[in-house]
Amino acid sequence: MNPFRWSYRLSFLLGFLICIGLLGFALYAEHEWGMNPCPLCIFQRIAFMVMGAFFLLGAIFGPRAGGRWICTGGALLGAIFGIGVASRHLWIQSLPPDQIPSCGPPLDYMFGAFPFAKVLKLVFTGSGECAKVEPILGLPMPAWSLLWFVLLAILAIIATRRRSVLR
């Protein structure tokens, strides 16, 4: 069966399963390999959760034209946010050691001590823990995330733009 000819619902189910698999792998890497997530990693996970939620809505309800664009738009917003966060994370990892920002407080402390806008500013400034590179199959985790954000965005667009062959 050619996945490029799958129905909208089946394509969105695939997108949901990929998001769940990626989140599961992130948890496995955290708990089994000791790769503790930095604040930017956590925001990438949130972006995958948002995408997964919209993929699931599209897979369950299989809405018609207007609803499809809502589900696709939500998935694309998650992807755009994730692409931005992963790109910023890769940029921080590419900095020379003398330009890496110092480690800041943990994310849970920041949410308790600062307003949300300030937390976002602090997170996107990055920290020393965000600069740690731990490659998986030759690529750092944010590079894999960036690749999957792009592929899932393409999947959402293709599934929404073409006519379904299967129902």
**The pLDDT of residue 118 is above 80:** yes
pLDDT of residue 113: 83
CATH architecture of the domain 3-161 equals Up-down Bundle (1.20)
pLDDT at 87 over 70: yes
More confident residue, 65 or 73: 73
pLDDT digits (tens, 9 = 90+) for 2-45: 666 788 899 999 999 999 999 999 999 989 988 888 888 889 99
Check whether 165 has a pLDDT greater than 50: no
Going from N- to C-terminal start, the domains of the chain cover: 3-161
* Three-state secondary structure string covering 72-122: HHHHHHHHHHHHHHHHHHHHHHHCCHHHCCCCCCCHHHHHHHCCHHHHHHH
Computed over every residue of the chain, the mean pLDDT equals: 86
Give pLDDT, residue 124: 66
Return the DSSP state at 37. P
Q: Are 16 and 163 a contacting pair, CB within 8 Å?
A: no
